[in-house]
Structure 1
Amino acid sequence: MSINCIRTLLEDAALTHSDKTSVVFGDKSVTYGELFSRVNQVAFYLEELGLPKDSRIGIYSNKGIEQVVSVLAILSTNHILVPLTKLLKPEQVEYIINDCDIKCIITDKLKLESIEEINFDGHIISYETTSKDIASFDEIYKYYNKPYICDINGHNNAVITYSFGLSGTPKGIVISHRNLIDSARVVSQYLHLEENDIISGLLIFNLDYGLNQIFCTLYKKARLALHRFILPEDFFNHLINDGVTVLPVMPVNLSQMFDEDVRRIPSADLFDSVKTITSSGGNVTEKMIGDCKKHFQKASFYSMHGLTEAFRSTYLDPSQVEIRPDSIGRPIPDVELYVINADGNECAVREVGELIHRGGYIYRGFWNAPEQNAERFKSVQILKDVINLEGQLTDEIVVASGDYVYKDEEGYLYFVSRQDDMIKTRGFRVSPYEVESVVAINIPQIDQCAVFGIDNELIEQEIVMVYSAAGQISENEIVFELKKHLASYMIPSRIVFKKSLPLIQSDKSQINKSELKRTLSDN
């Protein structure tokens, strides 16, 4: 067994901390010993399916202890985990299933109907017993009690996570077992996590930031307290009742929790257990930082910046958060970051250039996407005018992030823009092309359509859709149709009708989105 895989953490925790509570969700909980037993039973069943090595297995369900079991069970086999966020619509799930050829899906009773809607012909496993034709965890726990032994190679592929790429369709990024355990090690180090920590499982487990909470919990043999954010009041109760000490959030979560009437927020002394807050997936504002300081008075706030192609690049130390709240910080341990201009030279102080990530935590690449891989994963030779490459014996890979940043006089980095026109909202990346394609296919009365993002402090960017048609269409009618095909976070919050849309002078087939943005901003 490789030491560089999550499975080794689980085995060690079960051996040394068998009776300690590992995961809680409301009034339900499991010890490390119970978690290990359940994971083994599900992993044993997955192996019994006889799927080829490296088969992709999806998890499409609501949050719960069994979802954590599913994640760890798949990572205890020679198969590959594909998390499918519950926010995805059936047709989006179907795209991912076809793109990476998912052979098995683990789900719950609520999402089973969506899977049946797309006529998935692979294996289906449900947490609850639903019918005699579908295997369930209830049955697996009852009948699969044989010893389970596995041998995981740390260099093998472990996870494929999907986000929206330049082409407008989801692109899967491939993550190795070594990547997963390295990310747990480095985060545990710079956040100073401890065995007695209780880590909030607020984030969904569709991307690496959310999954990392499971792995950090195992790494430190801590406790993971799951929570589904529905109402701020419930969230505050989660922090108090579960005794949360480490709170990983996205900026949109901070907006949600502090948008409530301040009189309904519990007294600050009830949150004294919270010692660490981490934020990634978007820019934090001074208001967010101020709200955290006011209500979580004993907590250190870490702002972090990650890449699709690498686990994480920077973090801003809590001592600097109020001094330079707009900064994304400095490199995390084992990472070198460079800002280079179009000529390949290192940018001067406050000169904007592309962020190049060198060193640890670089992922394997995009699944079946050679163009995207060529664009993002580069030879270290692109740094030949910046660093000394004398004696380099192999061609090292670095990430050309597509993030444009600048560095201040003290070496702190500041994000400026993306190379592409991706919209970042509520912690998600949304491709305008994805939304525009749905409009073109499903709302034929619309002649032209342009989708883009406009800055919104609360959610980073709001999605705006401008369209032309023979006559104005009811906004409710447009939203109703879009909701059939798109996840909720992809629905435009602002829909504008115009008789005609401006075109780019040099290319009359392209809508001039910059002009539309200026027009709407002026209004």
Structure 2
Amino acid sequence: MGLSDALPADRPTVDGVALRPIDHVLLRGDPGSLALDGRSGRYSYAELEETLGRLAGWLAGFRLSEGARVASWVAKGPVAALMPLAAPRAGLVHVPVNPLLKHAQVAHILADSGAELLIGTASRLATLEEGDVPPGCQIHREDDAACGMSGGPALGPSDASADALAAILYTSGSTGRPKGVMLSHANLWLGAVAVADYLRLAPQDRTLCVLPFSFDYGQNQLFSTWHAGGCVYPLDYLTPRDVMKSVDRRDITTLAGVPPLWVQLVELDWPAEIAAKLRRLTNSGGALTRSLVAKLRALFPQADLYPMYGLTEAFRSTYLPPALVDSHPDSMGSAIPFAEILVVRPDGSVTDDDEPGELVHCGPLVAQGYWRDAARTAERFRPAPAASRYGGTAVWSGDTVRRDANGLLYFVGRDDAMIKSAGNRISPTEIEEAAAAVDGVAEAVAIGVPDERLGQAVLLLLRGGEPEAKDRVEARLKAELPNFMHPREILMLNEFPRNPNGKIDRVAIAKEHGA
């Protein structure tokens, strides 16, 4: 079935591109071409479309209300790859859960999203404790979903409207627990179109998916490759060498990563014939250093390198074309297709060249806000500056950047207290609350400090009178928080600096400890 057969011709358009429900993305590929390959099997586009329809039919069999949330906490395989498409096809909203999270974070996501169905691996479901799953939320194992998509009735392509909610992706803020970013079919569809376009993906491309599908960046690996008619290879890797082996065995052309992965990969001894298979490297989740760019360019001379900057609230904002990487290694690049990026002063007026200002993302990639959080939505999602050609709602990033005379952007600083480590956005508050709950700890402050491998590492400062509290805090954090949130170091202080209002002076702490 082609796209023209699936929907009426009068679908809404953005910049000349017709908007489709995201579950139509597989319909773009040649039916006989390979779409998904991996340890769990090989699927052509026709076979994967049929499997998608069955998984959507299985979900529809639960007879949940329209727009009900379905959470998935599954291994990276066919179920994980198809859930972002199957749930919307069944009229439901997908809520992917980061596989690194532990029961407390999962419990928050389930409760906050109001999930009515949780699908997880048996081992992960076994870690949940009493009260973690909200009343009324059904639990099913991943094996059940796998059986459901191997047979039974199949749902055909949906006719969802472009602005219908398709997914809620949870991302940490600088304060409080993770918040759910609401993404529409249009957000996901245009993200796939945009990335496939500027990466110049083609049907011959093979993408190794090493990033979690719970991230917008990881999920888009699927959508953009399928939009281009290529093949995806999901991989839960244990060591960087597993990545190199997969590149070799699968003849991978495209690899997306975050800075810590690149640091590990450039330390390997890559045979020239394996390195030459990669044609495209994409980076987000943190800036590449000049030295790392140089190492990647030397190790993978045949590969185009795409540094990128993004916000979950607007998917992706900028990319730097490969031709400019050597001459402008510090630049964030410029806007991707369907994104309008403005640099503005506090009054909303556009800055002059090289004048620092706040990055504001306008246009159809802007998400619909935070799920059930009007207050935080109002803080970040505000009317676009008057200069915007799109108007409507924009994402005010809180990041300070500057724009040079050629229109290239450069990162200056982050206004909030977010810690960005190994591609993960970490809420200091969540770490601090867990530490402060330990006996003997009066106060806790978590800050991000520079780290060559991670971008930023977590430094946790404790105020309390018991030296033994440090060990208790370390044990609690290991038990309650995922590994990427564990502090590199914990320091005990007698006092914290205060501002005139008596509040902890985080700026002074950051300066003193090198953040």
Please report the TM-score for the alignment, with normalisation by the length of structure 2. 0.91
In structure 2, what is the equivalent of residue 433 of structure 1?
429
Query: Residues 28-53 of structure 1: CA distance to partner in whole angstroms, max 9, x if unpaired?
Result: 32222332222222211211111010
Equivalent residue for 1:467, pick from 462, 465, 476: 462
Query: Residues 335-354 of structure 1: CA distance to partner in whole angstroms, max 9, x if unpaired?
Result: 22221112333222222111
Change in Cα spacing, 1:273 to 1:95, as seen in structure 2 (3 Å) is same
In structure 1, what is the equivalent of residue 361 of structure 2?
357
Q: Is the 8 A contact 1:311 1:362 kept in 2?
A: yes
| Residue 297 in structure 1 maps to residue 301 in structure 2 | yes
Give the superposition deviation at 1:138: 4.9
The alignment partner of 1:324 has SS state of: coil
| Residue 124 in structure 1 maps to residue 117 in structure 2 | no
Q: Distance in 2 between matches of 1:343 and 1:351?
A: 14
Q: Is the 8 A contact 1:199 1:247 kept in 2?
A: yes
Give the superposition deviation at 1:4: 1.1
Equivalent residue for 1:507, pick from 498, 501, 505: 501
Q: Is the 8 A contact 2:118 2:140 kept in 1?
A: yes
Equivalent residue for 1:275, pick from 279, 294, 297: 279
The alignment partner of 2:48 has SS state of: helix
Equivalent residue for 1:480, pick from 471, 475, 492: 475
Q: Is the 8 A contact 1:425 1:459 kept in 2?
A: yes
Equivalent residue for 2:182, pick from 149, 164, 174: 174
Amino acid across the alignment from 1:353: G
Runs of 4 or more consecutive aligned structure 1 residues displaced over 6 Å after TM superposition: none
Change in Cα spacing, 1:24 to 1:468, as seen in structure 2 (3 Å) is same
The alignment partner of 1:411 has SS state of: coil
- Mean Cα displacement is larger for which, 231-240 or 512-521? 512-521
Amino acid across the alignment from 2:514: S
| Residue 89 in structure 1 maps to residue 105 in structure 2 | no
Q: Distance in 2 between matches of 1:246 and 1:402?
A: 31
Q: Is the 8 A contact 2:89 2:155 kept in 1?
A: no
Give the superposition deviation at 1:6: 2.1
Give the superposition deviation at 1:109: 2.0
Query: Residues 235-288 of structure 1: CA distance to partner in whole angstroms, max 9, x if unpaired?
Result: 110111111101111112112223x4x5xx221222212111110111111122
**Structure 1 segment 40-439 matched on structure 2, within 5 A:** 40-115=53-128, 117=130, 118-121=132-135, 122-128=137-143, 136-141=144-149, 144-145=152-153, 148=156, 150-258=158-266, 260=267, 262=268, 265-380=269-384, 383-384=385-386, 386=387, 396-439=392-435
Change in Cα spacing, 1:150 to 1:411, as seen in structure 2 (3 Å) is closer
The alignment partner of 2:42 has SS state of: strand
The alignment partner of 1:463 has SS state of: strand
| Residue 452 in structure 1 maps to residue 467 in structure 2 | no
Q: Is the 8 A contact 2:358 2:401 kept in 1?
A: yes
Q: Distance in 2 between matches of 1:437 and 1:147?
A: 45
The alignment partner of 1:415 has SS state of: strand
- Mind listing any 5+ residue stretches in structure 1 that lack a counterpart? 129-135
Q: Distance in 2 between matches of 1:38 and 1:445?
A: 54
Q: Is the 8 A contact 1:41 1:148 kept in 2?
A: no
In structure 1, what is the equivalent of residue 511 of structure 2?
518
Q: Is the 8 A contact 1:309 1:365 kept in 2?
A: yes
Change in Cα spacing, 1:243 to 1:308, as seen in structure 2 (3 Å) is same
Q: Is the 8 A contact 2:441 2:469 kept in 1?
A: no
Amino acid across the alignment from 1:8: H
Change in Cα spacing, 1:356 to 1:267, as seen in structure 2 (3 Å) is same
Q: Percent identity?
A: 28
- Mean Cα displacement is larger for which, 338-347 or 276-285? 338-347
Q: CA RMSD in A?
A: 2.1
Q: Is the 8 A contact 1:7 1:152 kept in 2?
A: no
Amino acid across the alignment from 2:48: L
Q: Distance in 2 between matches of 1:183 and 1:494?
A: 38
The alignment partner of 1:25 has SS state of: coil
Please report the TM-score for the alignment, with normalisation by the length of structure 1. 0.90
Amino acid across the alignment from 1:29: R
Give the superposition deviation at 1:159: 0.5
Change in Cα spacing, 1:414 to 1:142, as seen in structure 2 (3 Å) is closer
Change in Cα spacing, 1:253 to 1:521, as seen in structure 2 (3 Å) is same
Give the superposition deviation at 1:427: 0.6
Query: Residues 366-411 of structure 1: CA distance to partner in whole angstroms, max 9, x if unpaired?
Result: 111112221122223xx33x56x8xx9xx62222121111112322
